[in-house]
């Protein structure tokens, strides 16, 4: 099983792999740059080479790069829309340079223009991005909690975006357990998890599910509030998280935690909690 956490790229970007290996991860997620700013410095070729070497040495795969926070492909603001497309292309090219298998993207916010327009804006932008960038890495659409004016909290939203792509093979899905729970998908009960996976299979197809953001939820069921919690200490709970990580339909999926962290001890605690759940 592939299990890991989101790790920092502080220092040299290849140090993220050292941190992941030190934590006992065999998969990981990173930002390839500062996620809260627009300015981007070029990746150092030597650092990229070392990144690839350590990725192979430690057998850390898949490597997942997460989109920066400022990018919004669903926005009605034309200036931000064009800026987001340009930044997205730059970021997905960085993921390709790092030989990352997946590039996880939130679906953005329609900012009051309505879900229909937001979804349409996103799918058109992504179609343009994929045509221009021709990435080797696979773009994964991430499920959201549905807070504010965000899109992506229904499986139907993702389906419509994928159907709008000329290169559908370049797109997959990342399911966040905290997000879908807060969005109203009952993954806490055994029956609810089965219904959710059946619905996912019917609407999207489980073959598209490549990564699970394995997070407990501080927010209540169907609250549409995006708040992650430590494994087993949230509203989903330890028993339900155990059912998820051991579900036979999810055995080929990478599980990556984005749980709260103040120090490395938090990551170690969550890695240990998740590994204890795995049935031998």
The total number of residues written for the chain in this structure: 280
Annotated catalytic residue 213: yes
Annotated catalytic residue 258: yes
Identified catalytic residue from 21, 61, 94, 228: 228
> For 4, which DSSP code?
E
Annotated catalytic residue 228: yes
Identified catalytic residue from 94, 106, 121, 243: 106
Annotated catalytic residue 186: no
Identified catalytic residue from 6, 21, 88, 142: 142
Annotated catalytic residue 66: yes
Identified catalytic residue from 19, 213, 227, 243: 213
Annotated catalytic residue 15: no
Annotated catalytic residue 224: no
- Site of tokens 């419509």: 160
Q: Which residue blocks in 165-278 are alpha helix, DSSP H?
A: 177-183, 190-203, 238-245, 264-277
Look at residue 213 and give its three-state secondary structure: strand
Identified catalytic residue from 19, 33, 66, 121: 66
Annotated catalytic residue 239: no
CA–CA dist 96, 56 (Å, integer):
15
Identified catalytic residue from 91, 101, 216, 226: 226
Count of alpha carbons within 13 angstroms of residue 26, beta-carbon side:
7
Identified catalytic residue from 50, 128, 258, 266: 258
Identified catalytic residue from 6, 33, 61, 176: 176
DSSP secondary structure of 77-146: -HHHHHHHHHHHHHHHHHHHHTT-SEEEE---B-TTS-HHHHHHHHHHHHHHHHHHH--SSEEEEEP---
Burial of 51 (0-12, 13-18, 19+ CB in 10 A): buried
> For the chain, give me the number of helices (H) and strands (E)?
9, 10
Look at residue 32 and give its three-state secondary structure: coil
Identified catalytic residue from 19, 179, 227, 243: 179
Annotated catalytic residue 115: no
| Token pair belonging to 136 | 């080797």
CA–CA dist 4, 59 (Å, integer):
12
Annotated catalytic residue 176: yes
Annotated catalytic residue 179: yes
Please list the active-site residues. 36, 66, 69, 106, 142, 176, 179, 213, 226, 228, 258
């Amino acid at each position: 099983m592939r299990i890991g956490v989101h790790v920092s790229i502080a220092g040299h970007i290849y140090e993220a792999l050292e941190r992941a290996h030190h934590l006992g991860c065999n998969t990981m997620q990173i930002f390839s740059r500062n996620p809260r700013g627009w300015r981007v410095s070029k990746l150092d070729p030597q650092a990229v080479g070392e990144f690839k070497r350590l990725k192979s040495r430690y057998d850390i795969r898949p490597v997942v790069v997460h989109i920066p926070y400022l990018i919004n492909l669903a926005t009605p603001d034309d200036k931000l829309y064009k800026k987001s497309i340009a930044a997205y292309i730059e970021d997905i090219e960085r993921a390709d340079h790092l030989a990352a298998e997946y590039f996880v993207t939130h679906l953005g916010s329609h900012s009051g223009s309505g879900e229909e327009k937001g979804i349409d804006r996103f799918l058109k932008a992504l179609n343009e991005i994929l045509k221009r960038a021709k990435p080797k890495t696979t773009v994964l659409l991430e499920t959201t909690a549905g807070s504010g004016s965000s899109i992506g909290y229904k499986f139907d939203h993702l389906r419509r975006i994928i159907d709008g792509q000329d290169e559908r093979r370049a797109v997959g899905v990342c399911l966040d357990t905290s997000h879908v729970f807060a969005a109203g998908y009952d993954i806490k009960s055994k029956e609810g998890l089965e219904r959710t996976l059946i619905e996912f299979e019917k609407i999207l197809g489980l073959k598209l599910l490549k990564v699970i953001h394995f997070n407990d939820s501080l927010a209540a069921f169907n609250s549409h509030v995006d708040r992650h919690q430590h494994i087993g200490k949230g509203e989903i709970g330890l028993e339900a998280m155990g059912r998820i990580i051991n579900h036979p339909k999810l055995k080929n999926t990478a599980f990556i935690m984005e749980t709260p962290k103040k120090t490395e001890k938090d990551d170690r605690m969550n890695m240990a909690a998740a590994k204890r759940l795995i049935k031998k």
